[in-house]
Chains A and B, each alone.
Chain A
């Protein structure tokens, strides 16, 4: 089994009003050190495969097809053998 952690984030060029609202809220709580906030998604998957190459190919395909909208989002992932 391979455990995968997929991160989906808005592309750098895309404005993130949600991140901005969170940023403003953090500033009003006194966290003045915060310079930027971007909100994304974190998806955990368990794959019934043991080969990391196969898992990478599968994750690339499923991220492009469904997990991320590549028009506005980037994705990355980490794999862990379990």
Chain B
């Protein structure tokens, strides 16, 4: 499916590490479904980043050696990402991209192996905890969405002080829940602290999430809930002109 309803006005960057494997899915979601421009950023390229939003895609950067994201965080492009993010630029880290952002210290906390010691690849329900972030501006508060996860290491952990801080500052964006929106231990696929599936930095311009929104942007692929994340980003960048979906 190709969306050519409008002329692209925004430019997304998709950062490529050796071992990234969801890069083309993100590129496709932005270009073909969203209808905006997308470019790859090679990890070893240290040029300044001039984009409207940068995506760190999923995969196994550097083979997950040592810890997921541990080596990727030192890439020259990551140094540039720090400057870009410090200037308020939007960053979306998905799965391994989330792990890299945690390792880089751009998001608080850390990721451990799933509590059940199983690789999980399935659709999960998420409750939208905050709908006034740049990444969720088109969601309804408390909306329940279905987005797939695909990871062995997605068990989010932070110390008590950090948890209190991210909770009180409204940094938790998505929590794992059941189809009715109940946030419970049964609905927690990987043991994540407080069912956290996605959270932002304190400034709110960097979102990391384990679920893969790029994998559910079209009906043909089983759902369009993920597209709302990308559409929220463009909506925020364009000044929030699009009406919130009923």
Contacts and interface: CB of A to CB of B under 8 A. Distances in A.
A associates with B: yes
A56 interface: no
A18 B102 CA distance: 21
A47 interface: no
A17 B158 contact: no
Which size class do A's interface residues fall under? 10 to 19
B157 A72 contact: yes
Given A69-B67, A69-B103, A17 B115 contact: yes
Contacts of A72: 110, 112, 157
Nearest to B116: A17
A14 B103 contact: no
Given A17-B115, A18-B113, A66 B70 contact: yes
A67 B66 contact: yes
Interface string B19-57: 000000000000000000000000000000000000000
A66 B66 contact: yes
Given A17-B116, A69-B70, A71-B159, 12 more contacts: A14-B112, A17-B117, A17-B191, A21-B117, A66-B71, A66-B74, A67-B66, A69-B110, A71-B157, A71-B158, A72-B112, A72-B157
Nearest to B102: A71
Contacts of A14: 112, 157
Interface in B86-142: 102-103, 109-110, 112-117
Interface in B158-177: 158-159
Contacts of B103: 69
Interface of A: 13-15, 17-18, 21, 41, 66-67, 69, 71-72
Q: Is the interface of B mostly helix, strand, loop or mixed?
A: loop
B110 A71 contact: yes
Contact of A71 (B66, B109, B116): B109
Interface string B55-81: 000000000001100110010000000
Nearest to B160: A13
Of residues A15, A41, A66, A71, which shows the largest number of chain B Cβ atoms within 10 Å of its Cβ?
A71
B27 to A, nearest CB: 30
A42 to B, nearest CB: 12
Contacts of B157: 14, 71-72
